[in-house]
Amino acid sequence: MRQLIIFTLGTFMFLLSCNRNKFEHDASGTFEATEVIVSSEANGKLESFQLTEGDQLAKGQYVGYVDSIQLYLKKRQLLATNKAIQVKRPDISVQVSSIKEQIAKAEFEKRRIQRLLADNAATQKQLDDANSQIEVLKKSLNAQENSLSTSVNSLNEESNTNTVQVSQIEDQLKKCKIINPIQGTVLNKFVEEKEVVTQGKALYKIADTKNLFLRAYIVSEQLEKIKIGQKVKVFINISEDKQKSYQGTITWISDKAEFTPKTIQTQDERQNLVYAVKIAVTNTDGLIKIGMYGDVDF
């Protein structure tokens, strides 16, 4: 009887061992994804936030916005101020036109006196007075043009400052909109609509579940068999006795050895130190899940 029990137990352990090692592969690991935590870029009430965990979002998709009424009103105020500045800007040509007319008349009078002087019908003093009047008018013109130019430049700088402030407000208004950064699946939602959020507060976490990575571990003897860019076969279990394969590409090989993670089995269980590798896999049918175990053949 005792021998029968020992035989039966031995047979069970053998069958269990055979089942466990049914799928022999070069390495194994877990699947990871590129995860992004999307945070608020503005302060205020979350007026709209229409997403739920598990949603599939496209890159650039609009998902909500933070209250922006005060920023919009500030922008309108700045635009109104810019219009007022444009109204105050003087027209230099109009402002100096009267002095230019006076100079033209003075020069005409000077030419008349010169003709009279040639005929001894005028005196040198009259000509000197005419020249002096022209010089005074020209200096007055230059002074007025400089004053008006200074005023225009000052208003232009004020207008430029307002334009920059309008651009800043427009950038802040843009950041009030919540735009999804990558294509993927929403893993976690951290806030709800109508909550007050601050700049930098996490709103949700999204992961690219189409383009995954298998982080596998290999022993030192396997390093010479692999290289970056190499095509490999990746496997997942879809039932107790069936696996599905995908094509993968080695994208990264660690240059430092580390202790074997407890959850990972290596080809040689006696090896304590292993090297991590990353294998890019396209999740074409959606069967691969983040955290799932996978195997790889080089």
Is 262 within the bounds of a domain? yes
Q: Kindly state whether residues 96 and 134 are assigned to the same domain.
A: yes
* Tens of pLDDT, residues 3-19: 433 333 343 333 333 43
Q: Kindly state whether residues 276 and 208 are assigned to the same domain.
A: yes
pLDDT at 262: 55
pLDDT at 113: 87
Q: Kindly state whether residues 159 and 210 are assigned to the same domain.
A: no
The mean pLDDT value of the chain amounts to 86
How many other C-beta atoms are found inside a 10 Å radius of the C-beta of residue 291?
8
Q: Kindly state whether residues 98 and 146 are assigned to the same domain.
A: yes
* CATH code, domain with 219: 2.40.30.170
Which two three-digit tokens encode residue 93?
A: 């040509």
The answer to whether 191 touches 201, Cβ cutoff 8 Å, is yes
Is 194 within the bounds of a domain? no
pLDDT at 229: 95
Is 4 within the bounds of a domain? no
Q: Kindly state whether residues 32 and 109 are assigned to the same domain.
A: no
* Tens of pLDDT, residues 271-282: 568 899 999 999
Higher pLDDT: 88 or 184? It is 184
The answer to whether 184 touches 207, Cβ cutoff 8 Å, is yes
Mean pLDDT confidence for 22-45: 90
pLDDT at 22: 56
- The alpha-helical segments, DSSP class H, found in 36-96 are 69-88, 92-95
Is 45 within the bounds of a domain? no
With 50 as the cut, is the pLDDT of residue 147 above it? yes
Kindly list the distances between the CA atom of residue 113 and the CA atoms of 48, 119, 132, 137, 288, in Å, as whole numbers in the listed order: 83, 10, 13, 18, 103
CA 3 to the chain's CA centroid: 72
Q: Phi, psi (5° rounding) for residue 280?
A: -75, 130
Q: Kindly state whether residues 275 and 216 are assigned to the same domain.
A: yes
Domain limits for position 273? 24-39+202-297
Q: Kindly state whether residues 84 and 32 are assigned to the same domain.
A: no
Q: Kindly state whether residues 140 and 232 are assigned to the same domain.
A: no
CA dist 72 and 162 (Å) reads 15
Is 8 within the bounds of a domain? no
With 90 as the cut, is the pLDDT of residue 55 above it? yes
Q: Kindly state whether residues 232 and 172 are assigned to the same domain.
A: no
pLDDT at 265: 53
pLDDT at 16: 36
Which two three-digit tokens encode residue 217?
A: 């571990």
With 90 as the cut, is the pLDDT of residue 32 above it? yes
Is 265 within the bounds of a domain? yes
How many domains, the chain? 2
Mean pLDDT confidence for 56-60: 94
Q: Kindly state whether residues 219 and 172 are assigned to the same domain.
A: no
pLDDT tier for residue 25 given thresholds of 50, 70 and 90: confident
Is 11 within the bounds of a domain? no
Q: Kindly state whether residues 173 and 210 are assigned to the same domain.
A: no
Mean pLDDT confidence for 96-124: 88
* Tens of pLDDT, residues 199-242: 999 999 999 999 999 999 998 888 888 999 999 999 999 888 89
The answer to whether 207 touches 35, Cβ cutoff 8 Å, is yes
Boundary (domain end) residue, out of 128, 161, 177: 177
Is 209 within the bounds of a domain? yes
> Quick one: CA torsion of 121, 126, 127, 133, rounded to 10 degrees?
-150
Higher pLDDT: 73 or 19? It is 73
Q: Kindly state whether residues 112 and 150 are assigned to the same domain.
A: yes
